[in-house]
């Protein structure tokens, strides 16, 4: 919950705008300001104070308990010009909150955290438990001193400019129960799965004690436990649920049928008779693969086993849109900044190179290497990296998503990031040509036989669909567009509107509205999108419009 505090009418007006925008996230604190701040500080995860920063500093200073416990605090001036991240920039989420507040109120976010200022991800913002000399190692990164990454396990990290060889400072990625050394930071990835079984009524202390003992004896950190896994018959077992809650992890359950199919070293007749599977703890830990680090061990009423699952790489397939920077989606920006490896066509990389964080490894290649780029991106993800594979428009439309997903198996996580397609960008410029049913067809026969393409064009013509042609004409392919237009002309009149848009949304872009009979294919190239209307499409005030067929339109005619 976000506590909102103000002292004046102007502050209250801005406060109420934020409360209206986030009704489920915010709570307004009325009354004397000092009392309101004290109550909100104790009850909320974050505060937005519509007060002077000096006043807020004096009010919260006596309340501070420590970096890990204090809420994030953002100050907004009464004119609503600035949203200042004052306290808990990373741990309390105040930096991100300042940006969100700025988007709602039109205020400029002010963030002074050093790593954010130079566009480096903070070591305490990587989504992993962190221990050790965070301040010292962060300072070394900021000062450009070499910092080594010692990755004992694989995990997809955002870009950090780690040194290639030994260095005075180290970030250690480990799930082992070790202490951080001098000038060292430990990152704890959630690589451990603990399978548990328990008799009905097993005490939480016994379940938790058995788990902690198993981890301790194996030299493993409880902070790297991702989940407790068990059979679904135990999904409501109080001792298991309470143990998971105290560890701060979820309980994941599987059916007895799923667990019975898992090959385990220590099957038993007892769980088979009780819940229908010869193994609960080992099978639940191993059901999604991994290395068995702690075989089944027992207490009076519980069993557990520990598995290390390999870190799964992450592949984000990102659509960059048609080229204009303001048509690049916020989600695409976030994925570009999250990726430690970027794979893409050289000219697309050039479009967004300035958005990448320092330390991002860029693997670029030229035209015609689509399949190679797809294989490279998947291989980098399988190596445990956070990868962004970029394409223009929407990466799933005549772009990189298809070849990449054809290469990818279920050993990596895949995220699709939609983008504004060339067809949509061109349509917005032309008017509303896609107002009714429509289809996109690529005229490139490099991967699809022309006979197949022509059959699809003919089907679209017979179905009276608006058609958007991608890849309409190149130097080596100059006959396909005239052939496709001839097919459409067999079903549509010569005055059918046709929109021709080149480099949609870019500074050198152009657009014109012509007709099916007047279009000269020689004026079209590979950077052009050609949209041919259906029998209802009209030129209305110089705009290409395909009506939805509403009755009011029929009446107007």
Reported as a single tens digit per residue, the pLDDT across 23-76 is 999 999 988 989 999 999 999 999 999 988 898 899 989 988 887 788 999 999
pLDDT of 554 over the 60 cut = no
Mean of per-residue pLDDT scores for the chain? 91
pLDDT, mean of residues 247-254: 95
Structure tokens at 351: 């479009």
Identify the residue whose tokens are 């070499």.
146
- DSSP H helices, 463-537, are 480-489
Cβ-Cβ contacts under 8 Å for 455 (sequence gap 6 or more): none
pLDDT in tens, 209-235: 999 999 999 999 999 999 999 999 999
pLDDT, mean of residues 85-111: 88
pLDDT for residue 115: 66
Q: Spell 211-249 as b/e; 16+ CB within 10 A means b.
A: bbebbeeeebbbbbbbbbbbbbbbeebebbbebbeebeb
Among 109, 102, 103, residue whose Cα is nearest residue 86 = 109
pLDDT for residue 404: 93
pLDDT in tens, 168-196: 999 999 999 999 999 999 999 999 999 99
What pTM did the predictor assign?
Answer: 0.76
CB 284 within 8 A of CB 196: yes
Residue 207 neighbours by CB distance under 10 Å: 29
pLDDT of 119 over the 70 cut = no
Task: Flag the least confident range among 89-98, 354-363, 470-479, 515-524.
Answer: 89-98
Could you give the CA distance from residue 520 to residue 498 in angstroms, rounded to a whole number? 11
> How far is the CA of 30 from the CAs of 17, 49, 52, 348, in angstroms?
16, 12, 17, 51
């Amino acid at each position: 919950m976000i506590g909102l505090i103000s002292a004046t009418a102007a502050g209250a007006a801005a406060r109420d705008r934020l409360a209206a925008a986030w009704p489920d996230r915010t709570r307004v604190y009325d009354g004397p300001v000092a009392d309101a701040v004290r109550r909100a500080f104790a009850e909320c995860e974050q505060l937005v104070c519509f007060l002077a920063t000096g006043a807020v500093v004096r009010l919260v200073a006596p309340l501070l308990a420590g970096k890990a416990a204090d809420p994030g605090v953002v100050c907004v001036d009464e004119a609503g010009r600035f949203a200042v991240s004052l306290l808990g920039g990373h741990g309390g989420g105040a930096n991100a909150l300042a940006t969100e507040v700025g988007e709602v109120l039109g205020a400029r976010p002010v963030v002074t955290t050093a790593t954010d200022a130079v566009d480096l991800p903070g070591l305490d913002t990587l989504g992993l438990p962190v221990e050790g000399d965070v301040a010292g190692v962060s300072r070394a990164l900021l000062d450009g001193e070499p910092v080594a990454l010692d990755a004992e396990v694989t995990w997809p990290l955002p870009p950090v400019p780690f040194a290639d060889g030994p260095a005075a400072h180290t970030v250690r990625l480990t799930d082992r129960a070790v202490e951080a050394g001098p000038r060292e930071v430990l990152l704890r990835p959630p690589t451990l799965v603990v399978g548990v079984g328990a008799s009905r009524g097993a005490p939480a202390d016994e379940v938790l004690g058995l788990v902690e003992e198993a981890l301790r004896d194996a030299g493993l950190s409880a902070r790297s436990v991702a989940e407790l896994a068990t059979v679904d018959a135990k999904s409501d077992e109080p001792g298991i649920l309470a143990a998971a809650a105290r560890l701060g992890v979820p309980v994941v359950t599987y059916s007895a049928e799923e667990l019975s199919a898992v090959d385990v070293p220590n099957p038993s007749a007892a769980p088979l008779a009780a819940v229908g599977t010869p193994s609960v703890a080992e099978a639940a830990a191993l059901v999604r693969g991994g290395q068995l680090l702690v075989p089944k061990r027992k207490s009076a009423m519980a069993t557990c086993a520990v598995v290390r699952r390999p870190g799964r790489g992450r592949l984000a397939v990102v659509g960059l849109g048609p080229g204009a920077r303001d048509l690049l989606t916020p989600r695409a920006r976030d994925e570009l900044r999250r990726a430690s490896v970027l794979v893409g066509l050289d000219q697309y990389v050039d479009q967004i190179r300035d958005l990448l964080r320092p330390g991002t490894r860029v693997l670029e290649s030229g035209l015609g290497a689509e399949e190679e780029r797809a294989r490279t991106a998947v291989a980098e993800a399988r190596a445990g990296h956070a990868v962004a594979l970029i394409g223009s428009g929407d990466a799933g439309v005549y772009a990189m998503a298809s070849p990449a997903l054809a290469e990818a198996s279920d050993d990596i996580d895949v995220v699709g990031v939609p983008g504004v397609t060339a067809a949509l960008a061109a349509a917005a410029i032309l008017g509303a040509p896609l107002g009714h049913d429509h289809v996109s067809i690529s005229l490139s026969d490099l991967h699809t036989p022309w006979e197949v393409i022509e059959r699809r064009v003919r089907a679209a013509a017979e179905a009276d669909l608006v058609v958007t042609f991608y890849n309409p004409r190149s130097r080596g392919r100059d006959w396909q567009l005239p052939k496709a237009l001839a097919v459409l002309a067999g079903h549509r009149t010569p005055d059918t509107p046709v929109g021709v848009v080149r480099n949609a949304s870019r500074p050198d872009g152009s657009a014109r509205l012509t007709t099916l009979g007047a279009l000269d294919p020689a004026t079209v190239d590979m950077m052009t999108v050609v949209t041919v209307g259906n029998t209802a499409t009209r030129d209305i005030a110089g705009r290409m419009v395909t009506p939805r067929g509403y009755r009011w339109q029929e009446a107007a005619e």
